[in-house]
Amino acid sequence: MPLRRTPAQRRPLGALVFLLMGVAPTVALPLAWFVATRALAVTTALSLLGLGAFAAVGWLLWHFRLPRPAPLVVDNHGVRFPYFRGPQPWLALDEIVVARATDGGLTLVAAVPPGHAARGATGSWILPRRVFVSATDAAVVVDSVRARLARRPDGARLLARLDDNAERQRRFQATRPVVVWGTVGACVAVFAGEWLTGATGDVDALVRMGANAGAAVRQGELWRVVTACLLHGSVLHLVMNATSLWSTGALVERWLGRPAMILVLFCSGAGGHLASALAQRAPVSVGISGAVFGLLGVLLVSSWRYRAQGTGGLRVPASSWLFLLVANALLSTLPFLDVVAHGAGFALGVVLGAVVSPRPGRGSVLGPRALRGAAALCVVLTVVAVVFAVVGASADVSKAATAAAAAVSPAAP
């Protein structure tokens, strides 16, 4: 099967877009956060951006010096792929568990049972549509793999495994993260209300709207630990939390389902703010970052449970966990950052992940009916908390208006 270019190659415009849209925000947003909190000087931030741009240019120059690709080969032993240096990697034919051709290209994944050694040189390969000469070439590769498998003595079992995994992936990708969309939309709508009323940057106004004021929570206003999740202190705060929730939450919701996602978001978000109020570390805090850390806790549980599985689960590489650990360790040094809420949200996410995340070959500890009931309770509690916040804010506004009118009214005779 001839290919147009090696999988690692991209067109210059595509590679530039990848840098600007995928890599640049992960560097620029933290630097902007450091500058905004005065933890980093503007000149230092610009210098770091310059170094990043220099590294990006070097990456582009190296990226397009790759040699011409070799053909992709499907034989009785496996699938062999072109590579830009060294030996050609390959997937053993009977270890392939996913073989799918979509509009985006070709996906092949090989799995090895626990305790066995892989005979192929790699575990997965994704070829985008642009590397193929013809639009139908990806489907031809899949047909070739299936035809080779059908000739094997255990071909029926291997083909049934392919079909089952393909259906699971189809259902996973077809699920729309409605809960994540709704949560992000609610945060944006509430922040628009903050902006219109001038509450952004005004601590007293945020407290009136339902921020997590530790003293008030300890006096019984528990609804604040829920409404504080929807409030944010600035545009940058909202953007960072919303993008994190959008990217991580979409994966977790597709994996867990909507009821479990509602339960994780509510418990880790509200639980993080409750822990912050009880710890008395931050007098006032807002944001849904505790729920985002709860999602990371769920990912940690899934990654551990499926660490020896070829397919299934959500697995995050160890390098990604190292990056998250270092990044959050640095962020924890910033002022006005509620580390207690983050840590409590993550811990609750780990506990909830152990309960709601499916186990290999089995379902979750909580059944579908229990998850739906818990999710419905979380929705009701959220609505009640918002009602308390609206009523409390209205009462505060009414008291302020009465006091102002009394101050300007003439004294009675």
Confirm whether 285 is a catalytic residue: no
pLDDT at 235: 86
Which DSSP helix (H) or strand (E) runs through 373? helix 368-408
Name residue 335's amino acid.
P
> Of 289, 302, 303, 357, which one is the catalytic site residue?
289
374: left (phi over 0), alpha (psi -120 to 50) or beta: alpha
pTM of the model: 0.67
Residue 341: what pLDDT?
A: 87
CA distances from 334 to 114, 134, 327 (A): 43, 52, 12
Has 320 been annotated as catalytic?
no
Pick left, alpha or beta for residue 210 (phi over 0 → left; psi -120 to 50 → alpha; otherwise beta): left
Of 250, 346, 335, 352, the residue nearest 291 (C-alpha): 346
What angle is formed at CA 187 by the lines to CA 185 and CA 192, rounded to 5 degrees? Answer: 95
| pLDDT tens per residue across all 413 residues of the chain | 566 655 444 455 656 665 666 566 666 767 776 777 677 788 887 888 788 777 777 766 665 555 555 678 888 888 887 655 556 678 888 888 888 888 878 888 887 665 566 677 667 777 888 778 787 888 888 999 999 999 888 888 888 888 888 877 777 777 788 999 999 999 999 999 888 887 777 788 888 888 888 888 888 889 999 999 999 888 888 888 888 888 888 888 988 889 999 999 999 999 999 998 888 777 888 889 899 999 988 888 888 877 766 555 566 666 666 666 666 666 655 556 778 888 899 999 999 988 988 877 677 788 889 999 999 999 999 999 999 888 876 665 445 434 434 444 444 33
Report the distance separating Cα 295 and Cα 179, nearest Å: 13
Ranges of H-type helices in 120-234: 137-150, 155-174, 178-197, 203-209, 214-218, 224-227
Residues in the chain: 413
Which entry of 276, 285, 342, 364 is annotated as an active-site residue? 342
Per the CB < 8 A criterion, the answer to whether 205 and 199 are in contact is yes
Q: Which of 140, 83, 149 is nearest to 106 (CA)?
A: 140
| Chain-centroid distance, C-alpha 204 | 32
Where does 175-306 have alpha helices with state H? 178-197, 203-209, 214-218, 224-227, 235-256, 258-279, 289-305
- From the centroid of its chain, how far is CA 292? 8
